[in-house]
Structure 1
Amino acid sequence: MAEDPRYHAPMPDSQLPEHPHPRAHLALLILLAAALLFGLWGVWTVVGARGGEAATVGSELDGLRQQVATLARSDQVSREANQDLQGTLAERDEEVSALRADVAFYERLVGSTSQRRGLTVHGLRLQPQGEGAWHFTATLTQTLNRAAVSRGRLTLAVEGSRNGSLERLEWSDLRPQDDAMGAEYSFKYFQQLEGDILLPEGFTPLRVHVRLAPVGAPAVDGSFPWADAAGDVAPRSSPDA
Structure 2
Amino acid sequence: MSAVKGSKQYRLEVVPYRPWLRWSRRLLALLIAALAVYAAHWYGTSEALKYQAQALGERDQFEQALSESRAEAEALRQEVANLKLGSQVDKAASEDVRNEVIRLKAEIAELQEDITFYRGLMMPSADKQGLTIGSLNVISTGEERRFNYKLVIQQLATNHKMLSGHVNFTIVGRQGGLPMSLALKDVSDAVSTTDIRLGFRYFQNIEGELVLPVGFEPMRIEIVAKARGSNGATVEKKFGWLVEES
In structure 1, the residue matched to 2:118 is 106
Pick the aligned partner of 1:90 from 102, 105, 121. Answer: 102
Q: Which moved more, 1:72-81 or 1:147-156?
A: 147-156
Q: 1:224 to 1:8 in 2, by over 3 A?
A: same
Report the CA distance between 1:11 and its aligned residue. Answer: 7.0
| Aligned 8 A contact 2:145 2:211 in 1 | yes
Given residue 78 of structure 1, which amino acid in structure 2 is its aligned partner? D
Q: Which residue type is aligned with residue 94 of structure 1?
A: A
Flag structure 1 segments of 5+ consecutive residues without an equivalent.
233-241
For the residues of structure 1 that align with 2:130 and 2:215, how far apart are their CA atoms? 38
Give runs of aligned pairs for residues 33-182 of structure 1, distance below 5 A.
34=46, 36-111=48-123, 114-115=125-126, 117-129=129-141, 130-144=143-157, 146-175=159-188, 179-180=192-193, 182=195
- What secondary structure sits across from 1:142 in the alignment? strand
Over the matched positions of the two proteins, sequence identity in percent amounts to 20
- Following TM superposition, by how much is the alpha carbon of 1:224 offset from its aligned partner in structure 2, in angstroms? 0.9
Provide closer, same or farther for how the CA distance between residues 12 and 6 of structure 1 changes in structure 2, counting only shifts above 3 A: farther
Indicate the RMSD between aligned Cα atoms, in angstroms. Answer: 4.0
Instruction: Report if aligned partners of 1:205, 1:226 keep a CA contact under 8 Å in 2.
Output: no
Q: TM-score, normalised by structure 2?
A: 0.69
Match of 2:237 among 202, 205, 223: 223
- Distance of 1:68 and 1:36 partners within structure 2: 46
Quick one: which of 18, 21, 34 aligns to 1:10? 18
- In the TM superposition, what whole-angstrom CA distance separates every residue of 1:86-113 from its partner, at most 9, and x where no partner exists? 23222222221222222122222213x6
User: Could you tell me how far apart the structure 2 residues matched to 1:193 and 1:177 are?
Assistant: 9
Counterpart CA distance in 1 for 2:61 and 2:51 is 15
Gaps of 5+ in 2: 2-11
Q: C-alpha separation between the residues in 1 aligned to 2:121 and 2:114?
A: 10
Aligned residues: 227
